[in-house]
Chains A and B, each alone.
Chain A
Amino acid sequence: AQTVTQSQPEMSVQEAETVTLSCTYDTSESNYYLFWYKQPPSRQMILVIRQEAYKQQNATENRFSVNFQKAAKSFSLKISDSQLGDTAMYFCAFMNNNDMRFGAGTRLTVKP
């Protein structure tokens, strides 16, 4: 079974600085998809960014970008110019066929 590991339970960053959240996964599959989700205190699950495993180019979405290392099975999220509204839980997720697995999450606090 696929597993997703987020080794940083909590992180903090100063407003306007850059922070990187780590995620590793374990799978024997070659075709899959990776996601980062944000969950603010409102409890909503919001898709931040996604990456198809067959694409070598790292996905970017405005201030959010990923460093996808397929051989190392690593999928980190970089948030540039951090904003107070980025404060939330961040979940890394792996999807293959109909099976989606989430990491335990990283609580990010952006400090003014």
Chain B
Amino acid sequence: NAGVTQTPKFQVLKTGQSMTLQCAQDMNHEYMSWYRQDPGMGLRLIHYSVGAGITDQGEVPNGYNVSRSTTEDFPLRLLSAAPSQTSVYFCASPGQYLQPQHFGDGTRLSIL
């Protein structure tokens, strides 16, 4: 997907481990967001940011931490991974308010 890059694409963790999912965009967008996708539940908003230094909680923020030190990057941190966080994670950036959301390719995260 043009403009939004997520890494890694796949990751397996053990319960209690920590990790950071990376998201970067080169479109100079102010707004960035993280979603998780679980079977039968669509995508749910975890955290979002409306600009550098500004973050806010979405629908399912517990267990996740974010920061936005630059316009380009919006990492998602799992401080102590739990099996319930096994999911596919998407980073997205919509640009102008009325413009389509650009999604990254997703990260499949499994926690054992």
A: residues with CB less than 8 A from B are 1, 4, 6, 9, 33, 35, 43-45, 47, 50, 52, 91, 93, 98-105
Contacts and interface: CB of A to CB of B under 8 A. Distances in A.
Contacts of B62: none
9 contacts: A44-B103, A45-B103, A52-B98, A91-B43, A98-B31, A99-B58, A99-B59, A102-B35, A104-B41
B45 A33 contact: no
Contacts of A9: 40
Contacts of A52: 98
Given A43-B88, A43-B106, A44-B105, A101 B31 contact: no
Interface of A is mostly: strand
Interface string B22-59: 00000000010101000011111100101000001011
Contacts of B31: 98
A7 B105 CA distance: 27
A32 to B, nearest CB: 12
Contacts of A4: 42
B1 interface: yes
B98 A104 contact: no
Given A45-B43, A52-B98, A99-B45, 8 more contacts: A6-B42, A45-B103, A98-B31, A98-B50, A101-B59, A104-B40, A104-B41, A105-B42
B50 A47 contact: no
B102 to A, nearest CB: 9
